[in-house]
Structure 1
Amino acid sequence: MANKKSPVVKSSSENDKNSGVRLDKWLWAARFYKTRALAKQMIDGGKVFYNGQRSKSGKLVSIGDKIRVRQGYEEKEVLIVALADKRRDATFAQTLYQETEASIKVREDNALARKQGILLSPASETKPDKKQRRQIRQFKERV
């Protein structure tokens, strides 16, 4: 009697792997980060939120999901429009996502505030007079 092997049946988790792309791979392909290792480091460090929650770098992303990415001073909120696991030119990378209107407005407002120096050191327009200096000193010395 010969041994007959049963046909290999793929589980549902293996089918899901074929339909999605890892989060770190997608961020790298969309050119948010220069290397996959850096993308993984940012995900593990809490700089990337997938659908409003922290996630692991191996999380499979799909079209329509929302990702919030923090890069330096800027924070972008993007919707995934297309999937890619290979890194190509920048024009292709821009077709993979669409930034939300609210995110664009917040980034522009923060850039303007940084440019004007409002966020770094809010300063008054005039120096305090003698009475105001006394009040400041009393306020600071009060414990």
Structure 2
Amino acid sequence: MAGPSGKPDPNAARKLRLDKWLWQARFFKSRGLAAEVIEAGSVRVNGTRITRPGRDVTEGDTLTFPQGDRIRVVRILALGQRRGPAPEAQALYLDLDASAAPDPLE
């Protein structure tokens, strides 16, 4: 983000469109599919239902959304620069879904 002088403002929080972040993190095959799910009201950011694909998200936001037959709950760790390979995409978020975690007794 640029400040009044036209230079990047180091104090400004980085932001990214919700549909773009979901696509970059590889939760959806296209931004269009991500936008459809958002517009249907199926995505929550920090517990608030969102219907605008252009809604900005930042590091630390918690997202809740359906993916296939499960509900995903993830915390954004990074915004990313591109849609990279799966290992790069997985570094963008922390999966908060307890059922996805391995059983510690195994």
TM-score range, shorter chain: 0.7 to 0.9
Match for residue 39 of structure 1 among 30, 34, 38: 34
Residue 76 of structure 1 aligns to which amino acid in structure 2? R
Deviation >4 Å, runs of 4+: none
**Identity rate of aligned residues, in percent?**
39
Q: Does 1:88 pair with 2:84? A: yes
| Equivalent pairs, count | 94
Give TM-score scaled by structure 1 length. Answer: 0.58
Q: Post-superposition shift, 1:47?
A: 2.0
Please give the per-residue CA displacement for 1:82-129, whole angstroms capped at 9, x wherever unaligned: 1124211000000000011xx232x68xxxxxxxxxxxxxxxxxxxxx
Residue 60 of structure 2 aligns to which amino acid in structure 1? G
Q: Which structure is richer in relative contact order (CA contacts within 8 A, separation 6 or more)? A: 2
Q: Does 1:50 pair with 2:45? A: yes
Gaps of 5+ in 1: 1-8, 109-143
Higher helix share: 1
Residue 92 of structure 1 aligns to which amino acid in structure 2? E
Give TM-score scaled by structure 2 length. Answer: 0.77
RMSD: 2.4
Higher strand share: 2
Q: Is the 8 A contact 2:15 2:56 kept in 1?
A: yes
Larger Rg belongs to: 1
Q: Post-superposition shift, 1:58?
A: 0.8
Matches of 2:27 and 2:95, distance apart in 1: 12
